[in-house]
Structure 1
Amino acid sequence: MNDTDNQVLLRGRVADAAEPRTLPSGDELVSFRLIVERSAAAKRRSRQLVDTFDCSAWTSRLRTKALKLKPGDRIEVEGELRRLFSSRSGGVSSRVYVDLGSLTRLPEPPVASTA
């Protein structure tokens, strides 16, 4: 690892159904939102309990995996952060998303017994 690596690892829940898209260039991608709980320290500083991250799958393998996800599924993603700029009538806007390198469905945690 060097001092300019752009790698993220996130674990959370799928917010909504993944959406396939074809760009004007002909490139295909599948996008979805990931909900990640904030750490205990972050929760003490803010009322916000979670963050949501846009994730994009570009390879055929990752697009296929993403399309099988259901809202609420627990997953782990690894990838790189990307920033997109777009021009709109009100000016230039930008957003950051996770460009997926891997996507893994996680098992549900065991339910605690009440006996």
Structure 2
Amino acid sequence: MDRNEVLLVGRLSAAVEERSLPSGDTMTKWRLLVRRRTYRRGGTVTDSIPCVSFSQEVADVLRGLNPRDAMEVTGAFRCRVFGPASGKIWAYEVEAATVKAIDALPEAEPSEPPPPSAPRPAAALAKAGGPEASPSQGEEAGPRQGGSPGAWPSLRRTEPRSAAALAKAS
């Protein structure tokens, strides 16, 4: 069974924008800043996620929030298509069903990157059933075992050619 459920916890990025639609409905738009786990070198990556709602209750909650306020959003991931036939616009966003202000977000969890694995010689990989050894000079690599022909591009090694050799070949 298909499910389209979204739960986001983050901070309001800027003031909320309200727009009246030709149908008479009001569309409320905002962006939610959501931190990812701590990035490799101690930095933090943040996603700015576009959100929209057509609910008056959600709009009322959002009007009471200021930029950088913490909030929880539940809803569904949507793709809206609008505009003239000659220039359709595709918008991917979270359509919020509920919005709830929360006191504060926990600090980012420190996470250590996994230690890099030690390099292994190609002979050890071949014995362990790893990737095939690269072809020797002048050979062409075939597809992997169980793969279809043409699964890998040709790895044939070619020597640089002079302009005269190129003209002669064509």
Structure 2 residue ranges without an equivalent (≥5) = 108-170
Q: Choose which of 10, 13, 37 in structure 2 pairs with 1:12.
A: 10
C-alpha displacement of 1:18: 0.5
- With over 3 angstroms needed to count, the CA separation of the structure-2 counterparts of 1:26 and 1:9, relative to structure 1, is same
TM-score by length of 2: 0.54
Taking structure 1 as the reference length, what is the TM-score of the superposition? 0.78
Q: Contact between 2:37 and 2:44, CA under 8 Å: does it hold in 1? A: no
Tell me how many residue pairs correspond in the alignment: 105
Aligned residues of 2:78 and 2:95 also touching (Cα < 8 A): yes
Q: Do structure 1's residue 51 and structure 2's residue 47 form an aligned pair?
A: yes
Q: Which has the higher strand share?
A: 1
Change (3 A) 1:71 1:110: same
- The code of the aligned residue for 1:58 comes to F
Counterpart of 1:103, as a letter, is V
- 8 Å contact from structure 1 (residues 19, 67) kept in 2: no
**Separation (CA, whole Å) in 2 of partners of 1:21 and 1:75:** 22
Quote the Cα distance in structure 2 between the aligned partners of 1:110 and 1:78.
19
Structure 1 unaligned segments of length 5 or more: list them: none
Q: Alpha carbons of 1:92 and 1:70: their partners in 2 closer, same or farther (altered >3 Å)?
A: same
